[in-house]
Structure 1
Amino acid sequence: MRIVSVKQGVVPISSAIANAYIDFSKMTASVVAITVEAEGGRRATGFGFNSNGRYAQPGLLAERFVPRLQEVGELPALPDGGFDPAPAWAAMMKNEKPGGHGERSVAVGVLDMALWDATAKLAGKPLWRLLADRFNGGAADDTAWIYAAGGYYYPGKDEAALVEEMKRYLGLGYSVVKMKIGGAPGTSIEAALKEDLGRIEAVLKLLGGDGSRLCVDVNGRFDLKAAILYGEAIEPYGLRWYEEPMDPLDYSNHAALAEHYRGPLATGENLFSMIDARNLIRHGGLRADRDILQFDPALSYGLVEYLRTLDMLRLHGWSPRRCVPHGGHQFALNIAVGLGLGGNESYPEVFAPFGGFADETPVTDSRIRMPDAPGIGFERKNDLYAVLKPLL
């Protein structure tokens, strides 16, 4: 098998929303299409893109990673009819020094996604089934647990508008939702906390007071003092998790917070390599019986690296069920089902067209069943495929 074409583009995913750290007014995403030809002239085109929160990488793709990929000779064919993306991944990373996983991991992840889409299509299988067969003894989950991520700050958005947003998610079949906190502008931490507690309590009232149905996300804004202050205030609510309270690389402060906050913590969406993930596990004080790991394969060198991360986690006593990837995209959803992860994020109303899943897959009690379509299934999501199709 051989790569016959690699194409890339940049598309906007801008909106007026903001979290506690950044706004998305100028956000972009890279999109790629990789066509692979097998013996006998069979061809398949795989698509890839990067998750929200990191910008498009046209320079890195054009200057380094696409040329290296185009120089790859034969891709090793496998008995299932597909190929092994690992050698192509190794070629992309040739002459790259260790460390520095901020932006190149995004570029490589975009191409890796497309390679996995192509190999599953050549095998005639959904990616989740291909992954289960290759790496999980054939076992795949019947459905995936997903939660609705939203609750962003928006000009003029008050508690009533936040509650209405969460009502819409419940009406779509979600039973667990997530909202942003820590982003009140121009106020002291005490004033921001007071405002956020009102927002949290308004949503909890909608959820019947059940804190296990609500996650809160700080997007790394707090220092340790603020993280502990918030943690002490929200712990009585019994929330599903308290997400990314501090800078993701501040492992010692995460360990200190874990000594104060007894509820589940969630972090990892801004760690982009197996080594970074291992440092978090070694030094971040996280607890394998309750905490959530949110590494996003689309941002962290793709599935080839994510498989290494899962192996590392097992060696350190962590179950894949503690992994709930960031990103709300179909790639991570396939990985969750095929490799037995704990679930996946979902964006019902933001980051269109990349957020959300196949059009014909309804959500029931925060669970979704995968379509039986070859590849990742982008062609089953009409608004997303409309963006990807021009690359053909």
Structure 2
Amino acid sequence: MRITEIREITLPISSPIRNAYIDFSKMNLSLVAVITDVMRNGKPVVGYGFNSNGRYGQGTLMRERFIPRVMEANPETLLDSSGKNLDPHKIWSTMFMNEKPGGHGERSVAMGTIDMAVWDAVAKIEDKPLFQVLSDRYSDGKPDRKVFVYAAGGYYYPGQDHEKLKDEMRSYIDRGYTVVKKKIGGASLDEDLRRIDSILTVLGDGQQLCVDANGRFDRDTAVQYAKALSQYDLFWYEEAGDPLDYELQATLRSYYKNPMATGENLFSMQDARNLIRYGGMRSDRDYLQFDCALSYGLVEYLRTLEMLKEHGWSAKRCIPHGGHQMSLNIAAGLGLGGNESYPDLFQPFGGFPDGVKVENSYITMPDLPGIGFEGKSDLIKVMQELSA
């Protein structure tokens, strides 16, 4: 068997919203199709992948470096020991040829997107859900079919007032979420606190709020917010400062005793290890948000999970950023703590397969081969246009 073609396209996911750092008015992403010569029902098996929101499409890097390396390789060097399926680790190593270590920026997004498509193809060739493939290969073969999810929202946008903010959060609660998220740092501290107070009026027993500064704060501001936020029982205080400012993150533990979260903008196992070594993160309460689609893909994520285990961290402390089905499968197959969800934003790439319901902030993984994209009608339509 072999990969016959890898296609990519840049697509818009723009929206008139902003967080504390960027607006999404010109946001886009890369969609990739890995086409194989394995035939099912008269059609070739195709794996699909895309990168998460917040990072732009990486078509140029794919076309100039990563896709040619895969397509120019001897097809047999990309197969597993059976010769009947692709080996994602071998494909990853092929893509990384002639790349210097360090500098984990945009190339990690390009490789992570292709890697997602490869794993989708691998699981489809096995005719299993990806979460089952992962559990069979790297765990006990018994995946967690129920996965915790929280609703990410609360962005700033023109005309937003407290009533609209409360209506948004009510809509998430009505759809079965018990944990919701709001952006902070895009307004004054006083205004952010007023918005938090408004949201808390619509949350009931057992329902919690996360807040996310998207790396906006310097040390003094991060500490100021930490002190002010300590009055609340928040699910977490997320990404207060620059993601590579480990000293700032470590400082916060002296001012904020409740859970914190960070990691979505760390793009390699090495960066994640530095966070664990120097960022003061607490394995008994804090959360790690590494996103495979932005950080070289699942092959690298497996290395990150192994590193965390060596440092005494449970995979349950990982709740990835991105809101995509790839991380849902990783959570179910490898025992992560859950996954982010965007109920209304970045469509059709966010959300779950059709018919999947949120109950008490958990979803049940459906039995769909691969990542499960074929179960989301609006998404698979876009994907199949690329592979047609």
**TM-score scaled by structure 2?**
0.96
- CA shift, 1:384, in A, is 1.1
The 2-side partners of 1:80 and 1:237 are apart by: 56
2:236 to 221, 238, 241: 241
Cα distance 1:80–1:154, how it changes in 2: closer, same or farther (>3 A)? Answer: farther
The 2-side partners of 1:279 and 1:62 are apart by: 31
Kindly indicate whether residue 88 of structure 2 is the aligned counterpart of residue 85 of structure 1.
yes
1:266 to 255, 258, 261: 261
- CA shift, 1:156, in A, is 0.8
Kindly indicate whether residue 281 of structure 2 is the aligned counterpart of residue 286 of structure 1.
yes
Deviations 1:288-319 (A, max 9, x none): 00000000000000000000000000000000
- CA shift, 1:257, in A, is 0.9
Kindly indicate whether residue 225 of structure 2 is the aligned counterpart of residue 230 of structure 1.
yes
Kindly indicate whether residue 104 of structure 2 is the aligned counterpart of residue 101 of structure 1.
yes
Kindly indicate whether residue 17 of structure 2 is the aligned counterpart of residue 14 of structure 1.
no
| Partner of residue 176, structure 1 | 179
User: How do 1:1-392 and structure 2 match up within 5 A?
Assistant: 1-38=1-38, 43-72=44-73, 73-74=75-76, 75-77=78-80, 82-184=85-187, 192-208=188-204, 213-392=208-387
Cα distance 1:80–1:70, how it changes in 2: closer, same or farther (>3 A)? Answer: closer
- CA shift, 1:44, in A, is 1.3
Amino acid at match of 1:340: G
Amino acid at match of 1:29: L
Amino acid at match of 1:381: K
Cα distance 1:135–1:81, how it changes in 2: closer, same or farther (>3 A)? Answer: farther
* DSSP 3-state at the match of 1:177: strand
The 2-side partners of 1:137 and 1:99 are apart by: 33
The 1-side partners of 2:358 and 2:56 are apart by: 29
Conserved in 2, the CA contact under 8 Å of 1:68 and 1:92?
Answer: yes
The 2-side partners of 1:84 and 1:375 are apart by: 15
Conserved in 2, the CA contact under 8 Å of 1:82 and 1:121?
Answer: no
Cα distance 1:206–1:251, how it changes in 2: closer, same or farther (>3 A)? Answer: same
* DSSP 3-state at the match of 2:137: helix
* Range moving further from structure 2, 135-144 or 274-283: 135-144
Conserved in 1, the CA contact under 8 Å of 2:17 and 2:23?
Answer: yes
Deviations 1:21-48 (A, max 9, x none): 0000000100010012359998410001
* DSSP 3-state at the match of 1:327: coil
Gaps spanning 5+ residues in structure 2: where?
none
Amino acid at match of 2:309: R
Deviations 1:241-297 (A, max 9, x none): 000000000001111111211111100000000000000000001100000000000
- CA shift, 1:79, in A, is 5.9
**TM-score scaled by structure 1?**
0.95
Conserved in 1, the CA contact under 8 Å of 2:135 and 2:141?
Answer: yes
Conserved in 2, the CA contact under 8 Å of 1:132 and 1:339?
Answer: yes
The 2-side partners of 1:209 and 1:146 are apart by: 18
Deviations 1:35-90 (A, max 9, x none): 12359998410001000000001110110001011123223235696432100110
- CA shift, 1:209, in A, is 6.8
* Range moving further from structure 2, 144-153 or 380-389: 380-389
The 1-side partners of 2:219 and 2:156 are apart by: 23
The 1-side partners of 2:108 and 2:376 are apart by: 26
Amino acid at match of 1:196: D
Conserved in 2, the CA contact under 8 Å of 1:267 and 1:293?
Answer: yes
Conserved in 2, the CA contact under 8 Å of 1:324 and 1:344?
Answer: yes
The 1-side partners of 2:323 and 2:173 are apart by: 17
The 1-side partners of 2:16 and 2:57 are apart by: 18
Cα distance 1:80–1:150, how it changes in 2: closer, same or farther (>3 A)? Answer: farther
Q: Percent identity?
A: 59
- CA shift, 1:382, in A, is 1.2
Conserved in 1, the CA contact under 8 Å of 2:260 and 2:287?
Answer: yes
Deviations 1:140-164 (A, max 9, x none): 1020000000000000101110000
* DSSP 3-state at the match of 1:237: coil
The 2-side partners of 1:79 and 1:108 are apart by: 25
The 2-side partners of 1:391 and 1:69 are apart by: 19
Amino acid at match of 2:313: W
Q: CA RMSD in A?
A: 1.6
* DSSP 3-state at the match of 2:36: strand
- CA shift, 1:360, in A, is 1.4
Amino acid at match of 1:248: P
